Structure 1
Amino acid sequence: MTAAYTLYAKPGFTATTIERLCAEARISNRAFYECFGSQEELLQAVHERCVEESLAAVAKAVQEAPDTLGGRVTAGIRAYIEFIAADWRRARIMHVEVRRSGDILTTSRQRAIDAFARLVQEASADFPPAAPLNRRLVALGVVGALQELLIEWLLTDDQPPIDELVDTAVHIFIRSLSTPDTDG
């Protein structure tokens, strides 16, 4: 798993052979197949571990946040971005390689997006919505916006500071989820 975590982040899943993975992990090909049925199965396990760990970090931050929409949103976004940014490998697997892997992670990616959207819905449920819109669709939209901000952060040569990324994401979430009198 550790070797996959590094190699799937760079050079990337499609550039990583089982032979290279086994050499990096110092195991035989046979040992690999005793643990995983395929390289795709290993990628899914690595991705799902990253998602589970980040969901736990965000849920904890939201639970400990001030009981305002702004407090919950800020705490959750900061926790997610800092957790992702703390390890470039996790960031690349969750936001770049998940897309480059094609159909391999489609189901895993959709489960992750759904879990984050549910977390957004739960965190904002106590507050009036910004408009009479479907909360699930709004939650999916803001999760997608955050993903795109992180992809930009990962792939650009001139990375914006983490605080700027957090502030931008918080602005998008608050404006999407709240009425003007509930965004504090």
Structure 2
Amino acid sequence: MLDGWNVNRSYRGMSAEQRLADRRERLMTAAYTLYAKPGFAATTIERLCSEARISNRAFYECFGGREELLQALHERCVEESLIVVAKAIQDAPNALDDRVKAGIRAYIEFTTADWRRARIMHVEVRRSGDVLTASRQRAVDSFARLVEEAAADFPAATPLNRRLVALGVIGALQELLIEWLLTEPQPPIDELADVAVHIFTRSLGGP
């Protein structure tokens, strides 16, 4: 109790924890659009709060700053992508070509299905400077392990370190998606997938 006020009491049918979760989600939704365009650097806390319809004070009850919000948003996008790709690989026939095609197409289609997701994961993650360095490295490591696991049952096409090869092909896929985001006219999604599959299979031991 504080001066006769129960700080944990419900307000409009929501507990304090539910209100906090609701505000966090509204800020995540606002940042999903604003951090994609006009971008992280151009988005102020005031604009985020206006879009989310909360006060500046409430913002700091949810996140320590714009950077922490960006990290939370990026990590959610990565987690959702990993789930989609892992399921696609798991459901694919047990052949390297099939696994590669399924995983790449799932990633490209899921990422490009919403330009905001693609922009945050492949453009703003780099433009934010050091803000997402650790988060980006964790994401790359997670995808690299996924690639290694998908190719684990197949002989390597090269004596080179398979993890380094995985990192290299992930970098190639990222550049293809940046090309899709920043060029006009955009290359077709099928073409991106075909090129990525070509790079992956040749690097990891496919025909």
Bin for the TM-score computed over the shorter chain: over 0.9
Q: For residue 73 of structure 1, what is the aligned residue in structure 2?
A: 100
1:94 alignment partner, one of 115, 121, 139: 121
1:46 alignment partner, one of 65, 73, 94: 73
Counting only pairs closer than 5 Å after superposition, residues 1-184 of structure 1 correspond to structure 2 as 1-178=28-205, 182-183=206-207
Question: What SS class does the counterpart of residue 132 from structure 1 fall into?
Answer: coil
One-letter amino acid of the structure 1 residue matched with residue 148 of structure 2:
Q
TM-score, L = length of structure 1: 0.97
Deviation at 1:44, TM superposition (A): 0.1
One-letter amino acid of the structure 2 residue matched with residue 151 of structure 1:
I
Larger gyration radius, structure 1 or structure 2: 2
Q: Deviations over 1:44-73 (max 9, x none)?
A: 000000000000000000000010000000
Query: Following the alignment from structure 2 to structure 1, what is the Cα–Cα distance between the partners of residues 103 and 37?
Result: 28
Q: Deviations over 1:80-114 (max 9, x none)?
A: 00000100000000000000000000000000000
Query: Following the alignment from structure 1 to structure 2, what is the Cα–Cα distance between the partners of residues 92 and 141?
Result: 21
Query: Following the alignment from structure 2 to structure 1, what is the Cα–Cα distance between the partners of residues 64 and 110?
Result: 30
Query: Following the alignment from structure 1 to structure 2, what is the Cα–Cα distance between the partners of residues 51 and 97?
Result: 13
Q: Which runs of 5+ in 2 are unaligned?
A: 1-27
Question: Between the two proteins, what is the percent identity of the paired residues?
Answer: 82
Q: Which runs of 5+ in 1 are unaligned?
A: none
Deviation at 1:158, TM superposition (A): 1.2
Query: Following the alignment from structure 1 to structure 2, what is the Cα–Cα distance between the partners of residues 172 and 29?
Result: 47
Query: Following the alignment from structure 2 to structure 1, what is the Cα–Cα distance between the partners of residues 58 and 89?
Result: 41
Query: Following the alignment from structure 1 to structure 2, what is the Cα–Cα distance between the partners of residues 131 and 166?
Result: 23
Deviation at 1:160, TM superposition (A): 1.0
Q: Which aligned segments of 4 or more residues in structure 1 are displaced greater than 3 angstroms?
A: none
Cα root mean square deviation, aligned: 0.6
Higher relative contact order (CA 8 A, sep 6+): 1
Query: Following the alignment from structure 1 to structure 2, what is the Cα–Cα distance between the partners of residues 29 and 87?
Result: 28
Q: For residue 9 of structure 2, what is the aligned residue in structure 1?
A: none
TM-score, L = length of structure 2: 0.86
How many pairs were matched up? Answer: 180
More helix by share: 1
Query: Following the alignment from structure 2 to structure 1, what is the Cα–Cα distance between the partners of residues 119 and 128?
Result: 12
Query: Following the alignment from structure 1 to structure 2, what is the Cα–Cα distance between the partners of residues 57 and 160?
Result: 23
Q: Deviations over 1:13-53 (max 9, x none)?
A: 00000000100111100111100011100000000000000
